[in-house]
Structure 1
Amino acid sequence: MDEIKEMNDFNLPRIIAVNNDKSYVYGNQVMGVIDQHNRADYSKIAKELNHSNIDLLVIQHEFGIYGGESGEYVLELAEKLKIPFIVIFHTVLSEPSPKQCFIMKRLADLSFKVITMVQNKVKDLLEVYNIDCDKIQMIHHGVPFVDTESRMKLKERYGYSHRQILSTFGFLSPGKGIEYAIQAMSGVVAKHPEALYMIWGKTHPVVKQEVGEVYRQKLMDLVAELNLEQNVVFVDKHLTQEEVVQSLVLSDIYMTPYLGKDQAVSGTLAYGIGYGRVIISTPYRYAVEMLAEGRGLLADFHDSASLETHILNILDHPELKNEMENKTLALGSTMMWNEVAKSYAALFHETITASYVIKGSAV
């Protein structure tokens, strides 16, 4: 949104927030609020949009955002809209339930265009969801540009000048597989005692609400059990955008040892690519696509020994690290928000223009 609003052709984008069971105080950009579980709210917002000066709606779709079975209430909005909309599918399941498949197919049919952030999901949209190929477009997950100091300068500032930094950032939850990365560090530090694994981020709020800090405590107990207190640190805080980028630039290796093989998109991995880090990951679908052609290393799922082997390979071979960083940065430069915004801007123009043509021919 920040990049779009800088373009002369567009007014300031507005937001419709979807609230869960809590109330929030929003800024001026929020023009409306939907109570997630109140079906009538979706129809109400559609009516308000139809009578507003809004030319286009972008629906960010995740099944957990909207109310009803598998988030079906979003159809109350989509079916009543008289302005065009684009839907961005953040999750594309390879084996959806009939209800999930129906919702995505219906959204696609009603939309002007559907967006996926990975090429490998186009096939699923075609074959699993039976979406018209002319409706599908791939646009990369965007990465913000933050001007920051070099890795060497950041290490000096934080007192890590003589350390090799590995990192993971994002909300903690059991699906992140961080326990395997910690176990891998036990073997890594035997050869590289200067290695430091930094785990940035708070526990996922839903996980914390349901079970508290059980997962974080499990990880901390594992660190103590393996005597890794000097080689694994937790930064338990909500990160600003600047801190996220600094955590990446500071790093020699970025890791996403996730456990779910069908994960179509990872925002944290996208950030790592955007800033040209060497990435070691498990082979979930997004990682396989984005780390192809020598842009990273893929370890086996649930396998600390595999992670350890790849980490040591990078730490032992600085020339390999430099080669991978250059390859990753070549792709990452195309994923920065200013570049991604150009793709969305062109699509917005196409959508609005087509809508006016249709309206004009109907008069």
Structure 2
Amino acid sequence: MTLKSIKRNIAFLGTSLPRECGLATFSQDLMNEIERIHDFNSPRMIAVNNNKSYVYGNQVMGQISQHQRADYSKTALDLNRSDIDLLVIQHEFGIYGGESGEYVLDLAEKLKIPFVVIFHTVLSEPSDKQRLIMKRLAELSFRVITMVQNKVQDLQDVYGIENVKITMFHHGVPFVETASRDELKDRYGYRNRQILSTFGFLSPGKGIEYAIEAMRGVVAKHPEALYIIWGKTHPVVQQEVGEVYREKLMDLVSKLGLEAHVTFVDKLLTQEEVVESLVLSDIYMTPYLGKDQAVSGTLAYGIGYGRVIISTPYRYAVEMLADGRGLLGNFYDSASLEQHIVNVLDHPDLQLEMENRTQALGSTMMWSEVAKSYAALFRDTIASRIVIKGSAV
């Protein structure tokens, strides 16, 4: 039997839908695309649970309770006895148990099947424990993946990971066919409005208050402008402090008299709604406050659908919005955001030029394209295992 006739079996480790988590959505989107590739069977999932229980679909082959250390070793042994050819570890410090998520190493060190790691967060100044975890995962893995080129150097210099182990793939974006911007504005009741938007889970690090403050100056010059904030409060924030942040933002809107120019859509958006919220937008905003943020799925979506993007200069935004694909304001600075917004709304030709530049990159970031790169890496990883086994016989 030739390698071409073999259907490969891939499993993912991380959070899984219906848990409300960006990592879970990322995994599901990638798994959906891999399933469409002819030489892979339907991918499966090892779901990491927090303190809640979830009703999973058939693709979940096993579960780990985040803080139960024994689950990690047991899962490794189960995978070693299974028909899984390759494990994909989705890595964020907060989803695994132990200090900085160190329990994931118990699993990695006992695995006998090859694995790759997708690093969703790459801190420039990690703790000693964080550095150790990522360095050890890299040592044990076939390859580590980052989604931003400017983090490759950090992986080498800060974490001591060999360059040959590092691969950069863009954050994927799902394709959803929608109506045009004008048609969607009509459907949502926003005809003749200039729409600015932000979507995703609300939490204090999103810096939404600075975008709201910027709207006070924007509407003085463009009274047709409307800023839509789409999304629920982050589940962890909701559990810890409730709706304090959302209420603070709503109070700010009232204080500034912006009720006709800032609106909230408090719901978990479907994938179709996310894409429609972007397509109907004239400007997409990510005024985030964390300068070291290596990846933003929401920004990736904005680029994928060719929106004009105004952002603060966190690491991912600086790289992705280069070459005229967006505008960068300053952190904690509503005036700089206001200046960029007004500049775009004043100059429709600039808006069109930026949309075209952004779309040129965005078209390469659709999951249908990005998944091909992952599939090639998965094939190489599995083939290397077969070669190693064969040479050892």
Give the AA of the match of 1:240: T
Report the counterpart of residue 299 of structure 1 in structure 2. Answer: 329
Report the counterpart of residue 213 of structure 2 in structure 1. Answer: 183
Give the AA of the match of 2:183: K
Report the counterpart of residue 24 of structure 2 in structure 1. Answer: none
Question: Is the aligned partner of 1:17 residue 2:40?
Answer: no
Report the counterpart of residue 52 of structure 1 in structure 2. Answer: 82
Following the alignment from structure 1 to structure 2, what is the Cα–Cα distance between the partners of residues 8 and 221? 53
> 1:360 deviation in Å?
0.9
> 1:23 deviation in Å?
1.2
Following the alignment from structure 1 to structure 2, what is the Cα–Cα distance between the partners of residues 289 and 191? 31
Report the counterpart of residue 93 of structure 1 in structure 2. Answer: 123
1:278 to 294, 297, 308: 308
Percent identity, aligned pairs only?
80
Q: In the comparison of the two structures, how many residue pairs are matched? A: 363
Following the alignment from structure 2 to structure 1, what is the Cα–Cα distance between the partners of residues 238 and 164? 42
- Which segments of 5 or more consecutive residues in structure 1 lack a partner in the other structure? none
Report the counterpart of residue 163 of structure 2 in structure 1. Answer: 133
Question: Is the aligned partner of 1:222 residue 2:222?
Answer: no
Q: Which consecutive segments of 4 or more residues in structure 1 shift more than 3 A? A: none
1:288 to 295, 298, 318: 318
2:279 to 249, 261, 272: 249
SS of aligned partner of 1:255: strand
Give the AA of the match of 1:354: S
CA RMSD of aligned residues (A): 0.4
SS of aligned partner of 2:93: coil
Following the alignment from structure 1 to structure 2, what is the Cα–Cα distance between the partners of residues 303 and 243? 30
Q: How does 1:102-121 map to 2 (within 5 A)?
A: 102-121=132-151
> Please, what TM-score do these two structures have when normalized by structure 2?
0.92
2:339 to 290, 306, 309: 309
Give the AA of the match of 1:226: L
Following the alignment from structure 2 to structure 1, what is the Cα–Cα distance between the partners of residues 351 and 377? 37
Deviation sequence 1:265-323 (CA, Å, 0-9, x none):
00000000000000000000000000000000000100000000000000000000000
Report the counterpart of residue 237 of structure 2 in structure 1. Answer: 207
Report the counterpart of residue 258 of structure 1 in structure 2. Answer: 288
Following the alignment from structure 1 to structure 2, what is the Cα–Cα distance between the partners of residues 271 and 173? 19
2:57 to 27, 34, 37: 27
Report the counterpart of residue 109 of structure 2 in structure 1. Answer: 79
Following the alignment from structure 2 to structure 1, what is the Cα–Cα distance between the partners of residues 236 and 378? 34
Following the alignment from structure 1 to structure 2, what is the Cα–Cα distance between the partners of residues 266 and 14? 25
> 1:331 deviation in Å?
0.2
Report the counterpart of residue 153 of structure 1 in structure 2. Answer: 183
Q: How does 1:167-178 map to 2 (within 5 A)?
A: 167-178=197-208
Moved more, 317-326 or 203-212: 203-212
Q: How does 1:223-238 map to 2 (within 5 A)?
A: 223-238=253-268
> Please, what TM-score do these two structures have when normalized by structure 1?
1.00
1:197 to 224, 227, 233: 227
Report the counterpart of residue 351 of structure 2 in structure 1. Answer: 321
- Which segments of 5 or more consecutive residues in structure 2 lack a partner in the other structure? 1-30
